[in-house]
Amino acid sequence: QVQLAESGGGLVQPGGSLRLSCAASGFTLDDYAVGWFRQAPGKEREFVATSWRGGSTYYADSVKGRFTISRDNAKNTVYLQMNSLKAEDTAVYYCAASGRSGSYYYTGVYDYWGQGTQVTVSS
Protein backbone atom coordinates (compact mmCIF):
# COMPACT_ATOMS: atom_id res chain seq x y z
CA GLN A 1 0.00 0.00 0.00
CA VAL A 2 1.22 3.49 -0.81
CA GLN A 3 1.78 5.30 2.46
CA LEU A 4 3.58 8.24 4.01
CA ALA A 5 4.20 8.24 7.74
CA GLU A 6 5.35 11.33 9.63
CA SER A 7 7.17 11.15 12.95
CA GLY A 8 9.33 13.30 15.20
CA GLY A 9 6.81 15.82 16.41
CA GLY A 10 6.57 16.89 20.01
CA LEU A 11 6.78 19.74 22.48
CA VAL A 12 9.71 22.15 22.23
CA GLN A 13 10.53 25.53 23.71
CA PRO A 14 10.71 28.67 21.59
CA GLY A 15 14.13 28.87 19.97
CA GLY A 16 14.50 25.11 20.04
CA SER A 17 14.91 22.63 17.21
CA LEU A 18 13.09 19.58 15.97
CA ARG A 19 13.52 17.20 13.04
CA LEU A 20 10.50 15.65 11.42
CA SER A 21 10.72 12.47 9.36
CA CYS A 22 8.44 11.19 6.64
CA ALA A 23 8.93 7.56 5.64
CA ALA A 24 7.47 6.38 2.35
CA SER A 25 6.32 2.85 1.63
CA GLY A 26 4.88 1.27 -1.49
CA PHE A 27 6.68 3.67 -3.80
CA THR A 28 10.08 5.21 -4.34
CA LEU A 29 10.11 8.70 -2.90
CA ASP A 30 13.04 9.73 -5.07
CA ASP A 31 10.71 9.58 -8.09
CA TYR A 32 8.41 12.19 -6.55
CA ALA A 33 8.42 15.79 -5.56
CA VAL A 34 7.89 16.06 -1.81
CA GLY A 35 6.38 18.77 0.32
CA TRP A 36 5.73 19.70 3.91
CA PHE A 37 2.55 21.48 4.95
CA ARG A 38 1.14 22.45 8.32
CA GLN A 39 -2.27 23.17 9.75
CA ALA A 40 -3.13 24.91 12.99
CA PRO A 41 -6.60 24.56 14.55
CA GLY A 42 -9.16 26.65 12.71
CA LYS A 43 -6.74 27.57 9.94
CA GLU A 44 -6.14 26.49 6.36
CA ARG A 45 -3.44 24.01 5.54
CA GLU A 46 -0.31 26.05 4.86
CA PHE A 47 2.66 25.37 2.61
CA VAL A 48 5.99 25.02 4.41
CA ALA A 49 8.66 23.56 2.12
CA THR A 50 9.13 21.47 -1.00
CA SER A 51 11.86 19.60 -2.86
CA TRP A 52 11.51 18.31 -6.39
CA ARG A 53 13.52 16.36 -8.91
CA GLY A 54 16.51 18.31 -10.12
CA GLY A 55 17.48 19.21 -6.57
CA SER A 56 15.38 22.35 -6.33
CA THR A 57 13.86 23.51 -3.07
CA TYR A 58 11.42 26.23 -2.12
CA TYR A 59 10.31 27.53 1.28
CA ALA A 60 7.51 29.62 2.62
CA ASP A 61 8.67 33.08 3.68
CA SER A 62 7.59 32.34 7.25
CA VAL A 63 10.14 29.51 7.60
CA LYS A 64 12.89 30.53 5.19
CA GLY A 65 16.28 30.48 6.87
CA ARG A 66 14.99 28.38 9.77
CA PHE A 67 13.70 25.17 8.15
CA THR A 68 15.49 22.79 5.79
CA ILE A 69 13.96 20.01 3.71
CA SER A 70 16.17 17.06 2.79
CA ARG A 71 16.02 13.46 1.63
CA ASP A 72 17.71 10.18 2.41
CA ASN A 73 17.00 8.05 -0.64
CA ALA A 74 18.51 4.92 0.93
CA LYS A 75 15.90 5.15 3.68
CA ASN A 76 13.13 6.35 1.35
CA THR A 77 12.60 9.19 3.79
CA VAL A 78 12.25 12.96 3.66
CA TYR A 79 13.10 15.23 6.59
CA LEU A 80 12.20 18.67 7.80
CA GLN A 81 14.81 20.20 10.08
CA MET A 82 13.22 23.01 12.08
CA ASN A 83 15.42 25.47 13.94
CA SER A 84 14.72 28.66 15.87
CA LEU A 85 11.17 27.52 16.45
CA LYS A 86 8.49 30.05 17.26
CA ALA A 87 5.10 29.72 18.89
CA GLU A 88 3.46 30.38 15.52
CA ASP A 89 5.10 27.22 14.18
CA THR A 90 2.71 25.19 16.33
CA ALA A 91 0.63 22.99 14.03
CA VAL A 92 0.09 19.51 12.73
CA TYR A 93 2.74 18.92 10.09
CA TYR A 94 2.02 16.81 7.03
CA CYS A 95 4.29 15.42 4.35
CA ALA A 96 3.09 14.84 0.82
CA ALA A 97 4.34 13.41 -2.46
CA SER A 98 3.59 14.39 -6.04
CA GLY A 99 4.28 12.37 -9.17
CA ARG A 100 3.53 15.22 -11.55
CA SER A 101 4.86 18.60 -12.45
CA GLY A 102 3.31 21.74 -11.08
CA SER A 103 3.59 24.40 -8.43
CA TYR A 104 4.46 22.40 -5.37
CA TYR A 105 3.29 24.99 -2.87
CA TYR A 106 -0.31 24.06 -3.75
CA THR A 107 -1.93 21.17 -1.94
CA GLY A 108 -3.80 20.09 -5.08
CA VAL A 109 -0.58 19.04 -6.81
CA TYR A 110 0.08 16.24 -4.34
CA ASP A 111 -1.07 12.64 -4.78
CA TYR A 112 -0.26 11.17 -1.37
CA TRP A 113 -0.42 12.53 2.18
CA GLY A 114 0.74 11.37 5.55
CA GLN A 115 -1.38 11.34 8.70
CA GLY A 116 0.39 14.29 10.30
CA THR A 117 2.51 14.81 13.38
CA GLN A 118 1.89 17.42 16.07
CA VAL A 119 4.49 20.11 16.73
CA THR A 120 3.91 22.34 19.74
CA VAL A 121 6.22 25.26 20.47
CA SER A 122 5.60 26.60 23.96
CA SER A 123 7.43 27.66 27.08
Residue 80 has pLDDT above 90, yes or no: yes
Give the mean model confidence (pLDDT) for residues 21-29: 95
Percent of the chain with pLDDT over 70: 100
Does residue 4 contact residue 113 with C-beta atoms inside 8 Å?
yes
Q: How far apart are CA 44 and CA 50, in angstroms?
A: 18
pLDDT value at residue 54: 83
Predicted confidence (pLDDT) per residue in 35-64, tens digit? 999 999 999 999 999 999 888 999 999 999
- 12 pLDDT tier (thresholds 50, 70, 90): very high
Q: 25-58 burial, b if ≥16 CB within 10 A, otherwise e?
A: eebebeebbbbbbbeeeeeebbbbbbbbeeeeee
**pLDDT at residue 24 is higher than 90:** yes
